[in-house]
Each structure stands twice: as C-alpha cells, then as structure tokens.
C-alpha cells in the first residue's frame, strides 16, 4: 500500500512506516459491526483510514454507554501495548469506511522492535485515557443538549462530511440516555437551523452554532489531543 492515511501511521519514520504497512491488510468497516467483544482479547488492531468506531461499555444489563470514539487520528488496540488481556468494551463501527488491520501478536512483536512505533502507540493510549476520563465526567455533570452537540461534532470530525447516517435510538445509546431526551435536544437544534434530520440522515447546517451549544469537553478533548501528539 503506497500511502497511509491514518495519522498515527503517518507519524512513523518512512522506513518504519513502510515496514509496518507491509504487515497490514485492508479491512472494510461495516456499519454496526463489532471489531472487539467485551471480555475477549483482541485478534487484530485497526488503524482507520475512513469511518469511525465507538468504544461502548456495558454494565450489568444496561444497553451501553460510549466512552470513546476512534477515527483516522487514532487506532483500535492501543491497549495491546500492555499485553493481551480481555477488552472491557465493544468496539462498534459507527461510521462505515476502511481500516488497516494487523494481527495482535504481530503488532506486539513490532512494538518490541520499534521504539518509534511504541512511542506513537503510547501517545495514542494516553490520548484515549484522557478522552475516556473526560467522557465519564461529562456523562455525570453535563446536560443532554450540550453532550449531544459534542457528540455530533466528534462524529462530523471523523466522518469528514456534513451529512452522515445516525438514528435517534443510536444517539441515545451512545449518550446513555432515553430516546426522548435526544429527540427533544435534536429537535431544538433543528428548529434553530443548526442541523437537519430526516429518516436517519443528519446534516450539520451551522457548525459554528453547534460548537457554541457543545459542552466544554469538546474543546478540552481537542486541546489535549493537540498537546499530547504535537508536531513531529
């Protein structure tokens, strides 16, 4: 594969990037498919090129709560840096696209051989830990409307388009709230001309206005990512 469009892989020195890409294979990210199952070790790590994936945690019989979102800026499987333990979440494809995947053990072997790859994955893991910690506080302290605005902005950032497919049921699942709460909040955004929603197709009409509606967690997440990754 001549070009890597995943931002983590792009951070590798050219020689190591070429060697790493030779170990990867293209993989289709199908909407609603699972890349990992709670309680089972990962078989592969994924580096999204297009599309994006939600990390969903389930407690007891709850329907689940999104604690992280991964697109081309990151990867699924940075925890392999720490070993082959079972994962505590489901990795659920939220936006269809493509990824590069690599066998889990092959990735661990490369981490042992490549300090540059280890550094990139360590940074990815740290960014995700910040994101997950912030998501937990956001769920506890912020109202549905600002949280929904944040989630829509995060989705648009990774979808790289103004229009993407999503249902009220799915948004409610990701936010860990009742569907009616999402319906009310999304309806207010639509009446204000910020979004348009029709039969599962959502279009962001006024991103600047949507940013003003989002809770502070969106800006903090972006700032943390910029500070931790930085220029290379």
Grouping H, G, I as helix, E, B as strand and the rest as coil, residue 35 is strand
Tally Cβ neighbours within 10 Å of residue 115. Answer: 10
Grouping H, G, I as helix, E, B as strand and the rest as coil, residue 218 is helix
CATH number, domain 143-214, options 1.10.10.10, 3.40.50.2000, 3.90.45.10, 3.40.50.720:
1.10.10.10
CA distance linking residue 218 with residue 80, whole number of Å: 27
Grouping H, G, I as helix, E, B as strand and the rest as coil, residue 165 is strand
Cα 116 from chain centroid (whole Å): 23
Reported as type and span, the H/E element at residue 204 is: strand 201-204
CA distance linking residue 31 with residue 92, whole number of Å: 8
DSSP strands (E only) in 79-123: 90-103
Q: What is the DSSP letter of 76?
A: B
Asked, colleague to colleague, whether 7-139 and 143-214 share their fold, the answer is no
Q: What is 7-139's CATH topology?
A: Jelly Rolls (2.60.120)
Domains in the chain: boundaries: 7-139, 143-214
CA distance linking residue 40 with residue 54, whole number of Å: 17
Residues in the chain: 232
From residue 39, alpha-carbon distances to 43, 73, 152, 155 in Å are 12, 25, 29, 26
| Low-confidence stretches of the chain (pLDDT beneath 50) | 1-2, 4, 232
- Cβ–Cβ < 8 Å for 207, 159: no
Q: Tokens 């912030």 sit at which residue?
A: 134
Q: How many CA atoms lie within 13 A of 187 on its CB side?
A: 6
- Checking phi first, is residue 63 left (phi over 0); if not, alpha (psi -120 to 50) or beta? alpha
Residue 231's pLDDT is what? 58
Which two three-digit tokens encode residue 11? 């951070």
Residue 2's pLDDT is what? 41
Reported as type and span, the H/E element at residue 40 is: none
Residue 99's pLDDT is what? 97
Whether the full predicted model's pTM is greater than 0.85, yes or no, is yes
């Amino acid at each position: 594969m001549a070009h890597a469009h995943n931002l983590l892989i792009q951070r590798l020195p050219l020689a190591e990037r070429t060697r790493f890409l030779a170990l990867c294979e293209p993989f289709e990210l199908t909407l609603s498919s699972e890349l990992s199952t709670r309680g089972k070790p990962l078989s592969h790590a994924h580096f999204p090129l297009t599309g994006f994936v939600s990390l969903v945690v389930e407690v007891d019989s709850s329907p689940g709560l999104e604690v992280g979102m991964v697109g081309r800026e990151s990867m699924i499987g940075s925890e392999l840096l720490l070993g082959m333990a079972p994962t505590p979440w489901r990795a659920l494809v939220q936006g269809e696209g493509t990824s590069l995947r690599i066998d889990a053990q092959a990735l661990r072997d490369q981490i042992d051989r490549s300090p540059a790859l280890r550094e990139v994955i360590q940074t990815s893991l740290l960014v995700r830990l910040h994101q997950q910690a912030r998501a937990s506080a956001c769920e506890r302290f912020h109202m549905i409307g600002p949280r929904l605005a944040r989630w829509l902005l995060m989705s648009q950032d990774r979808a790289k388009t103004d229009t993407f497919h999503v249902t009220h049921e799915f948004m409610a699942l990701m936010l860990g709230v009742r569907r009616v709460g999402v319906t009310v909040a999304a309806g207010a955004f639509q009446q204000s001309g910020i979004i348009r929603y029709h039969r599962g197709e959502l279009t962001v009409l006024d991103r600047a206005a949507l940013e003003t509606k989002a809770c502070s967690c969106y800006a903090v997440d972006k700032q943390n990512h910029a500070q931790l990754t930085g220029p290379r």
